[in-house]
Chains A and B, each alone.
Chain A
Amino acid sequence: MGRESLIDEIRTKLGDAVEGVSDSFGDPVLTVRPSSLRSLMTALRDAPFDYAVLLDLTCVDFAAGEGRFELVYHLYSLSRNVRLRLKASLSASDPVAETLTGLWKNADWLEREVFDMFGVRFTGHPDLRRLLTYEGFEGHPLRKSYPWRLAQPRIPMKDKV
């Protein structure tokens, strides 16, 4: 399946979920509606698209605006050796998306990391705890609204002389 036909295929099959198509260094980038993320991903994972690997999930905080948080998914197809990037904007007040843990096992920790760092909630996640910071940590450190350099020590720290 060539590049153009791939995008045509995605558009015809899942057209209403896709808001825009662009290009990044030769790989297609789809902007999608967050509400249809899960059904779209299910279709993309299976034949004929066959994106068997969830390479990465991360998030971008644009600091302001209604679509302040943007989830970024990277998919990879082993059989066709192509990559695909998907972006979904989430609301600033209540960033929430559906979990993909049922589709890819590694989505579990990726989503926990995004939850920890950005405070995006994933509905249906089996165990949405912090991944990198510790228990008792308040706030989400990669949010632009997190105070600059604010540390939350677990034990008393001596002051620098």
Chain B
Amino acid sequence: MSGLDFLTTRLETALGWGRKYSLFHYPFITACCGMEYMSAACAHFDIDRFGAGLTRFSPRQADLLLVVGTVTHKLAPVLKTVYDQMLEPKWVIAFGACAVSGGIYQNYAVVQGIDRVIPVDVYIPGCPPRPETVLDGLMKLQDKIQHQKQDWRWAGKA
């Protein structure tokens, strides 16, 4: 392993560590799962312990999109726009059965899973998922971020 490779690997690790513990999330909340999001986010379960406590209400300041609840065809363009407005690197969690697959709604109105509209990193099942499940999903995402190839948008732009 050359010296440069060694440095790159180290930098990747450091970047991954930094990114996974500073997730600014944008809560895209549409339905009943929002209640469980609230309990996961508030003091009892406290996602701040995992570095994901900073809720941003502008997609431009967020790097984690939490899609919580039912997404209808009427809403799908809005979800797409919000996703497109987020800066790279960005991740998406589908929170609850509705966001994962349309859940109990298979009808004219509901999108059968948000992965038909935007890419999804972690799926959290449950109707609604318990906060423990949410924390588990969050840790899975952190693991993914740590081990993925880090996006260096600034390198090579000079």
Contacts and interface: CB of A to CB of B under 8 A. Distances in A.
A158 B115 contact: yes
Given A133-B74, A158-B117, A160-B116, A152 B108 contact: yes
Given A133-B74, A134-B74, A151-B73, A157 B107 contact: no
Interface string A119-161: 0000000000000111000000100001001111111011110
Contacts of A155: 76-77, 80, 117
B63 to A, nearest CB: 23
Contacts of A133: 74, 109
Interface residues of B, number: 16
B106 A153 contact: no
Contact of A146 (B76, B106, B108, B113): B108
Interface residues of A, number: 16
A151 B112 CA distance: 10
Nearest to A150: B108
B138 interface: no
B111 interface: yes
A158 B109 contact: no
Interface string B109-132: 111110111000000000000000
A158 B116 contact: yes
B28 to A, nearest CB: 16
A122 B41 CA distance: 47
Contacts of A146: 108
Contacts of A157: 76, 111, 116-117
Given A150-B108, A152-B108, A160 B76 contact: no
Nearest to B76: A155
Contacts of B74: 132-134, 154
A155 B117 CA distance: 8
Interface in A88-140: 132-134
10 contacts: A132-B74, A133-B74, A146-B108, A150-B108, A151-B73, A151-B112, A152-B73, A152-B108, A154-B74, A157-B116
Given A151-B108, A155-B76, 6 more contacts: A132-B74, A152-B73, A153-B76, A154-B73, A154-B74, A158-B117
